[in-house]
Chain A
Amino acid sequence: MIIASNVSKNFGKLKALNDISVTCNRGQSISLIGPNGSGKTTFIKCILGMVVPDSGFITFNRQNIAKDWRYREQIGYMPQIGRYPDNMTVGQLFRMMKDIRKNLHNDIDEELLEAFDLNKISNKRMRTLSGGTRQKVSASLAFLFSPKVLILDEPTAGLDPVSSEILKDKIRKEKTAGKLILITSHILSDLDDIVTEVIYMQEGQLIFHKPIDLLKKETGEERLSRAIANIMTRN
């Protein structure tokens, strides 16, 4: 569904992405793992077209994303740090997003919105929200249009345990519905029963891309966090 071919991106002297080639298919649930600054977020932003690669290209359903912006109709994106217009209220933000994306054929999914009880705070301005509440807004927006692809950048960071479980349940549900899910997270225990594949990145390079079963077999570990720790120490 998403194919990246030899994608490179430099920020000045820093090589943020170095010749990344990845194939992601429908029904997969892929976790991007790597140390801070390894290029995970940059790669995600490349897929979304927010960062333009210096070389290489990315295709979405065989369409080059550089030429066609419409593919973003099928993506729900939850950013690492949700930044929204300060003066807008929560209610206005949701109304605006629906207004912008409404004429499309996907249906509205307000499950998370209700689970997080965001209707209660719909009159609050975005700037007054706490980091966790902002995360809830980001998550609800990502799932709102029942997209075929979900890109979640550190989804559970800053969420309280209850909300974190609500979100994880929702991710599991979407996964069983056959959607492509891309997650980055440092809390590996969160990913254990969600993820089917692992992409490991380091300093802008793709170290490996493997199914989780294979990874567990190779390392002889049962849990993802142990398996990754095993590999990191081996490197």
Chain B
Amino acid sequence: MKKIVKYVIIDILRNRIIIGYTFLLTILSFSVFNLETNASKGILSLLNVILIIVPLVSIIFSTIYLYNATEFIELLVSQPLKRKNIWISQFAGLSLALSLAFLIGTGIPILLFDESGAGLMITLMGVFLSVIFVALAMLAAVFTRDKAKGIGISILLWLFFALLYDGLVLFLLFQLMDYPVEKGLVALSMLNPVDLSRILILLKLDISALMGATSAVFNSFFGQNWGMILAFTAMLLWIFIPLGISIRKFNTKDL
């Protein structure tokens, strides 16, 4: 399995896009930190960029890569290798490459400019989001043979998690304004990895008061240890559930 991961990573690195992505993140982070005098403000500006760009690049790049690797996967399946291992290797290779790009592009500037816990949290969440959206791409790619359809599904998934979901939650909030729904909001935030990471990062910054009354609920929930554990479990589930479903599908897929 290690060998296949090695070849997947060599193949990804041969593709210049991932290097361009690292470069883009580096420029973005440095310029944000240099523009803002306060590192905490810099993190906040960076946060919005990261929550949009990291999932987008992860899911689209992975989906296209998986479709382009069809030949490679076909070749491997006819060899003495376990199907499950082939699929997991693809996942591991993509996750490693994208996480590494994020860590170099954003992690290093954050380490240089920011010493607070928020910097660590944003780095951690960026890695989580990269891996989660690779897993979602695996799911989109395994279910459709058609490349255009697969990429379409990926874009829709990203749109849903990055933009539409918030709109839906807001709509729901306005409808239920008269009821105490703050607790429900915590549950709803778990259903979207992008939202969950946004909340976790905002709570580490001192500006969580901006979120109004709900922030008190979030604060009391995620401020506790078990709340944090629950949040991280949710993030892990966001990796393993899509990956697990895609493995099961891949095991019986006709090539």
Contact = CB atoms under 8 A, between A and B. Distances in A.
Answer yes or no: do A and B interact.
yes
Interface of A: 11, 45, 48-52, 69-73, 75, 77, 79, 83-88, 96-97, 99-101, 104
Instruction: Please report whether the interface of chain B is mostly helix, strand, loop or mixed according to DSSP.
Output: helix
B4 interface: yes
Interface of B: 3-4, 7, 11, 14-15, 68-72, 74-83, 252-255
B82 A86 contact: no
A49 B79 contact: no
B79 A100 contact: yes
Contacts of A72: 78-81
B188 to A, nearest CB: 39
Contacts of B72: 84-85
A198 B70 CA distance: 33
A116 B41 CA distance: 65
The 8 closest A-B pairs by CB, nearest first: A83-B71, A72-B80, A73-B80, A85-B72, A51-B254, A50-B255, A77-B78, A52-B252
Given A45-B255, A100-B4, A87 B78 contact: no
B88 to A, nearest CB: 14
Nearest to B71: A83
A79 B78 contact: yes
Contacts of A50: 74, 77-78, 254-255
Given A52-B254, A72-B80, A83-B70, 20 more contacts: A45-B254, A51-B254, A69-B80, A72-B78, A72-B79, A75-B78, A79-B78, A83-B71, A83-B75, A84-B71, A85-B71, A85-B72, A85-B75, A86-B71, A87-B11, A87-B14, A97-B79, A100-B4, A100-B81, A101-B79
Given A87-B11, A87-B14, A49 B77 contact: yes
Given A85-B71, A86-B71, A48 B11 contact: no
